[in-house]
């Protein structure tokens, strides 16, 4: 963060997100939907744990980008999960950031606004490498153009690739240096 204004903006967004969770819980309490309260709490706890793990991977540029992505109201929601033991990924941050931003921009440009769209990024941490999986669900447009652009971004590094109108799933492995 470069200024107090930036810090206040981050705090404002974070407070807004937590107030939404609290309002959901309050509404379910009024409706006596205790099962839904437990579900909302479990989702909030899991999200906070994933945010904590992401923040501890020593990739501040990637972390800030992902943690604030939904605040800019993109045409799809982004969610992430971090699986495995937290490790230092600083040595691959630049390469990781380049891929994450490029893929996110391609999905922004090729998703339809007619449907709800969602991107799940899964960080699978292994002792010697990271597998990052992109799982887009929703509606995609101009599939041939998207496939060409994704292949260019991935440069044949993906270990699996699937593209259909309703989804795009691929994984990329990064060796820790």
Digit-coded pLDDT (tens) for 53-109:
999 999 999 999 999 999 889 999 999 999 999 999 999 999 999 999 999 999 999
Q: Assign 3-class secondary structure to the chain.
A: CCCHHHHHHHHHHHHHHHHHHHHHHHHHHHCCCHHHHHHHHHHHHHHHHHHHHHHCCCCHHHHHHHHHHHHHCCCCEEEEEEECCCCCCHHHHHHHHHHHHHHHHHHHHHECCCCCCEEEEEEEECCCEEEEEEEEECCECCHHHHHHHHHHHHCCCEEEEEEECCEEEEEEEEECC
Domains of the chain from N-terminus onward: 4-175 (3.30.565.30)
Digit-coded pLDDT (tens) for 35-45:
999 999 999 99
Global confidence as pTM? 0.88
């Amino acid at each position: 963060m470069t200024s107090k204004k930036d810090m206040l903006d981050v705090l404002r967004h974070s407070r807004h997100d937590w107030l939404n969770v609290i309002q959901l819980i309050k509404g379910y309490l009024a409706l006596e939907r205790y099962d839904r309260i437990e579900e909302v709490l479990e989702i909030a706890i899991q999200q906070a744990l994933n945010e904590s793990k992401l923040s501890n991977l020593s990739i501040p540029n990637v972390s800030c980008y992902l943690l604030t992505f939904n605040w800019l109201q993109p045409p799809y929601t982004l969610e992430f999960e971090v699986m495995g033991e937290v490790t230092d990924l600083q040595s691959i941050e630049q390469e990781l950031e380049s891929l994450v931003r490029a893929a996110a921009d391609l999905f922004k440009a090729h998703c339809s606004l007619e449907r709800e769209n969602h991107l799940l990024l899964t960080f699978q941490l292994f002792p010697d490498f990271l597998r990052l999986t992109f799982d887009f669900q929703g509606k995609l447009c101009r599939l041939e153009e998207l496939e060409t652009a994704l292949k260019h971004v991935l440069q044949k590094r993906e270990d699996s690739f699937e593209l259909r109108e309703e989804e795009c799933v691929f994984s990329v492995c990064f060796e820790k240096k």
